[in-house]
Amino acid sequence: MKHLLTVLLVGLLLPLARAQTPGPALTAFSSATGMQPPQPWRVVGVPGGKIPLTTYALVELDGRKVLRVEADKSYGNLVHDLSAAVPEDGLRLRWRWRLDEALRGADLRRREGDDSALKVCALFDMPLSGIGLIERNLLRLARAASGEKLPSATLCYVWDSTLAPGTLLANAYTARVRFIVLDSGEQRLGQWVTHSRDLGADFRRAFGEESNGVPPLQAVLVGADADNTGGRSLGHVGDVTLSP
């Protein structure tokens, strides 16, 4: 079970410096020479290792090298820290994904269903002044326990089981994580779906009541989890890019 501190501590170990120029580069999955995701992509799980890790591997599919994402009663994110936090406003996040085996029983509105078959997330360094006192103190505790400046706002795009595309909701454990549903259900199983998102616009929609502007972007992650439902899912993700 992922409680609030676990969500905040799940390996989002991020750098603190600010970049001088926009347009941070994400290492392409297709550049990998073997089956392991290329550095600096790294798998991060729940502290303590009590929950199995979601597995990530590079495979050839439809003539191209892509990331295979398999969750089986597991949790774990594939995180790409940026070389520095950068002003995010004006950036677009692009990727394509394909769901091959849907996750049954997921329901992001409930803690016991808080799992996703596929997700791509952007992590932001939002000023704490806009966060409520209780969540602000919990985040400070988590940062002190980890020794890292964990993100204060995480926006996740998800392929959900039932919620309609366009749905926006907070994580069942913490409002520091919010979801936007892009694809839903099983009608497009086995089909590639391409997305291009305006991160600034989506951040304002998800966190606008807490922030006057768009804060620096610290990291991007790809993931899937099935630890709360005890289920299984399988999907694939192509190269993820950031561009003006």
- Quote the domain boundaries for residue 117: 4-243
Average pLDDT of span 97-125? 96
Residue 22: CATH number of its domain = 2.60.120.260
Q: What is the mean pLDDT of the chain?
A: 86
* pLDDT, tens digit (0-9, with 9 covering 90-100), for 227-241: 999 999 999 999 999
- Hey, what long-range contacts does 18-23 have (CB within 8 A, 24 or more apart)? 18/84, 18/85, 18/86, 18/87, 18/216, 19/82, 19/83, 19/84, 19/85, 19/86, 19/87, 20/84, 21/86, 22/86, 22/87, 22/90, 22/91, 22/244, 23/86, 23/91, 23/242, 23/243, 23/244
pTM given for the model? 0.86
Check whether 143 has a pLDDT greater than 50.
yes
* pLDDT, tens digit (0-9, with 9 covering 90-100), for 175-218: 899 999 999 999 999 999 999 999 999 999 999 988 888 998 99
Domain count, the chain: 1
